[in-house]
Amino acid sequence: MSANHDGRVVVVTGAGRGLGRAHALAFAAEGARVVVNDLGVGLDGTPGSDGSPAAHVVDEIREAGGEAVAHAGDVATTEGAASLVARALETYGRLDTLVNNAGFLRDRMLVNLGEDDWDAVVRVHLTGHFLPLRHAAAHWRAEARAGRTPVARIVNTSSGAGLLGSVGQGNYSAAKAGIVGLTLVAAAELARYGVQVNAVAPAARTRMTERTFAATMAAPGQGFDAMAPENVSPLVVWLGSAASEGVTGRVFEAEAGRITVMEGWRPGPTADRGARWTPAQAGEAALELLARSEPPGAVYGAADTP
């Protein structure tokens, strides 16, 4: 089950800081040659003061004896996504794994959420997953059709906010839920070309969550920072490796030392009248079915959230 990446080329988007940086370093430690993408924007997507976070991570990898190259394009544009895949192919001659991770936040309650803030967050998270996936998949399809079926992997980044919802994050929650849907479709469509597609819903301390997750130690004696982003990377590295053969179309939560397979929408209690319902009948049936169903998880930040 080794996640050795010797000879493999891995692209990680949003890899200048936080989870992406941790993933890039972890892949490099396993022998991967890494394309480190980061646009260098601030927490809300506006131009940042650090214009080259990707280059800093590349320096870290090279100083540790690894191979890496930076890419500073906007992966939520066709040009940026295409040039990202091209950077891997032109530099290293191949592409094996794509980790989609880029994103930022513009939190607002729904009644205060402007269209620009909605569009910006959906664009970076959802379009910023779709376009790199699309261009990488086109390359792998061409390889498969040429008789060189790849052992290719895509790891997408969703969130608990996308699985359960999060108060004050309607735009982010919607985008992260969309990433789960995209993952399921991509896994089904791309399997014939040797591509596996999975998603992780991480909980870790990054720029986006540092006010939520302070430096927190795990249980006594475990001796590690439970909310460090490095705790999520081992699962991502394994999913991005040849060792994950046969695992596709799945969503995992990863936090501290815990990994959970998430089980999504599937049929629960059902009633079939065999004819059209009246509104009153439909309501009675719905209430009866709800009484027999599992209650949904609490929305993050809701009043009844523990």
Give the active site residue among 92, 176, 193, 300.
176
3-state helix/strand/coil string of the chain: CCCCCCCCEEEECCCCCHHHHHHHHHHHHCCCEEEEECCCECCCCCECCCCCHHHHHHHHHHHCCCEEEEECCCCCCHHHHHHHHHHHHHHHCCCCEEECCCCCCCCECHHHCCHHHHHHHHHHHHHHHHHHHHHHHHHHHHHHHCCCCCCEEEEEECCHHHHHCECCEHHHHHHHHHHHHHHHHHHHHHHHHCEEEEEEEEECCCCCCCCCCCCCECCCCCCCECCCHHHCHHHHHHHCCHHHCCCCCCEEEEECCEEEEECCCCCCCCCCCCCCCCHHHHHHHHHHHHHCCCCCCCCECCCCCC
Give the active site residue among 92, 172, 193, 300.
172
Asked if 176 is an active-site residue, the reply is yes
Give the active site residue among 83, 92, 158, 159.
159
Asked if 300 is an active-site residue, the reply is no
Asked if 173 is an active-site residue, the reply is no
User: Active-site positions?
Assistant: 159, 172, 176
